[in-house]
Amino acid sequence: MALTPEQRRLRAQIAAHIRWSREDPTANAVRAQAGLVARFEREIDPDGTLEPAERARRVESARKAHMKRLALKSAKARRRRAEANRERQP
């Protein structure tokens, strides 16, 4: 039997709460940031030819662009939800 979107959301929330009750969020954040930096380094300098300072500068710009894209996507989703909620109100 397929779950409704609300049931899937609740199941995901339960799983997240269980995970965070068992893990150190700081360690996970460090791993995630290291993974992003490695990804940006591979994208920006796949051959490893840039000077370390220049690579670091470009990686930081790529990271900031990534975060801005996420913020924009989040803002659009919030606006869509707010508009949908307004349409449902009597």
In a domain, 54, yes or no: yes
pLDDT band at residue 18, thresholds of 50, 70 and 90?
A: very high
Total tally of structural domains belonging to the chain = 1
Torsion sign across C-alpha atoms 56, 58, 61, 63? negative
Residue 59 burial (CB count, 10 A): 20
Higher local confidence (pLDDT), 68 or 32: 68
What does the alpha-carbon distance between residue 69 and residue 73 come to, in Å, rounded to a whole number? 6
pLDDT of residue 25: 84
pLDDT of residue 89: 81
Residue with tokens 């929330």: 13
Query: Mean pLDDT of all residues in the chain?
Result: 93
Q: State yes or no: pLDDT of 90 exceeds 90.
A: no
In a domain, 70, yes or no: yes
Average pLDDT (15-24) is 91
In a domain, 81, yes or no: yes
| Domain extent at residue 78 | 23-88
pTM: 0.68
Tokens matching residue 69: 């894209």
In a domain, 8, yes or no: no
CA dihedral 23→24→30→35, nearest 10 degrees, is 0
In a domain, 44, yes or no: yes
pLDDT of residue 35: 94
Q: State yes or no: pLDDT of 53 exceeds 90.
A: yes
